[in-house]
Amino acid sequence: MLRSEEGRGGERRRRKQSGFSLIELIVAFSILLVLSTMAVPLARYQVRRQREKDLREDLAEMRKAIDKYKDLCDAGKIQAANMDSYCYPPTLEVLVDGVKLSNTIAGNGQTSKMRLLRHIPTDPFTRDKEWGKRAMQDEPTSTSWGGQNVFDVYTKSMDKAADGTPYSEW
């Protein structure tokens, strides 16, 4: 008889201890909700910071290529596209396609080409390869390109950084 009573008591204990109570579930889900509401803004902030970093790197890479073109042209190693260009590249594509160097001959008897940019980077904010361009003759705050040359590049995004400056002014 002792065994049968022990069996019934064990069943009672198991019934009381099986599963979670409603209060425990509500508390657990509340904690998860609070943690997730804190994590989402942090994740968005990290994504924005990464895009800003990519934008800075892309702009620096293109501006360095433009400056290299200008230096080569000023040194007489490449021909200027025209007199209005002031030795700046006519388009960004010229930097990717390569420029013919003056007074140099490659091993096959042809003039050599120098590529100053591997590819036109994708704007991290607009997700497009179309960048805003400024010519030497354009106003510094101009948003339309005169087309004479490429003096500077900027993003076409209208977003602003955390400090309030528009990304297009970077």
Write down the domain spans for the chain.
22-169
Q: Give the pLDDT confidence of 38-77 residue by residue, as tens digits.
A: 888 888 899 999 999 999 999 999 999 999 999 999 998 9
Mean residue pLDDT across the chain: 86
- Residue 16 pLDDT > 70: no
pLDDT of 140? 85
Q: How far is CA 86 from the centre of its chain?
A: 30
pLDDT of 8? 57
pLDDT category of residue 79 using cuts at 50, 70 and 90: confident
The whole-angstrom separation of Cα 150 and Cα 131 is: 11
- Section 112-128 average pLDDT: 94
pLDDT of 19? 75
pTM here is 0.74
Of 137, 138, 143, which is closest to residue 156 (Cα–Cα)?
A: 143
CA atoms within a 13 Å half-sphere pointing along the CA-CB vector of 89: 26
Is there a contact between 158 and 132 (Cβ–Cβ < 8 Å)? Answer: no
- Section 84-92 average pLDDT: 90
The whole-angstrom separation of Cα 9 and Cα 11 is: 5
pLDDT of 9? 56
pLDDT of 123? 97
> How much of the chain, in percent, has pLDDT values that exceed 90?
58
Q: Which residues contact 20 (CB under 8 A, 6 or more apart)?
A: 28
Of 77, 75, 113, which is closest to residue 95 (Cα–Cα)?
A: 113
- Residue 109 pLDDT > 90: no
